[in-house]
Amino acid sequence: FGHAPFDGVLGLGLPQLAEAQEFSFFDVLVREGVLAKSLFSVYFSREEDNTSEITFGAIQDKRLASPLTWLAVSNPGFWSVSVDEVYLGNESLDMCEFGCQAGFDTGTALVAGPSYKIRSIVSKLKMSLNCSNLHELPNLTFAFGSFSLVLTSADYVEQSQGACLLKFMHLNVMRPHGPLFILGDPVLRKYYTVYDREHLRVGVALARHNLALDRLDL
């Protein structure tokens, strides 16, 4: 952390990933009974100069632009859920024939996935680096049963000084935790997420931005 603008990382994963029980910060809060509910919720602002929020023990209803959909945690450790399929536009990418998972992660700046799957997505997108076909790019959809998490090109493309870059990265996680997609900032800036320790589930809803107050009363 000598070159980072922070002094440490406060992990909020499930205890299966902790070095020891005493290092599972959120589980300690749950065991001590200091929370009204055994969950935490996360809102990421779309703008860097606005306030993002994490709330322990409650859900900020004012941040919900749609009803919450609850997805069961499929492999405790990561906050990961089973993915049925991944689509580009209406085209199935046939990526989850043998099962795959997606983990929601506030510490990842991009959408990450197995190298061969990310290469396939990038190849099919055929994005121009000069952004000339930005508005022609299809939606990227992760299907979880009847619920679809949809990213438009505005969500998964970074524009900077007339150039466009995809917000994807390679990350190869072996079984039993993989193959695994990591849903980082591009997803969390669009969706409000709730992490329910008691029922081992993740709640997902479209986030409501541009409230009159940047901070909510906690």
Which domains are seen in the chain, by residue range?
60-206 (2.40.70.10)
Q: 58-76 pLDDT, tens per residue?
A: 999 999 999 999 999 998 7
- The model's confidence at residue 216, banded by pLDDT at 50, 70 and 90, is very low
Residue 173: what pLDDT? Answer: 81
For 18, residues 6+ apart whose C-beta sits below 8 A from its C-beta are: 11, 24, 27
What's the pTM? 0.89
CA distances from 138 to 77, 96, 175 (A): 32, 19, 30
Mean pLDDT value across residues 127-143? 94
Q: What is the mean pLDDT of the chain?
A: 89
Do the beta carbons of residue 39 and residue 195 sit within 8 Å? yes
Torsion angle (degrees, nearest 10) of CA 147, 67, 15, 104: 50
Per-residue pLDDT at 48 exceeds 80 = no
Do the beta carbons of residue 149 and residue 81 sit within 8 Å? no
Per-residue pLDDT at 187 exceeds 90 = yes
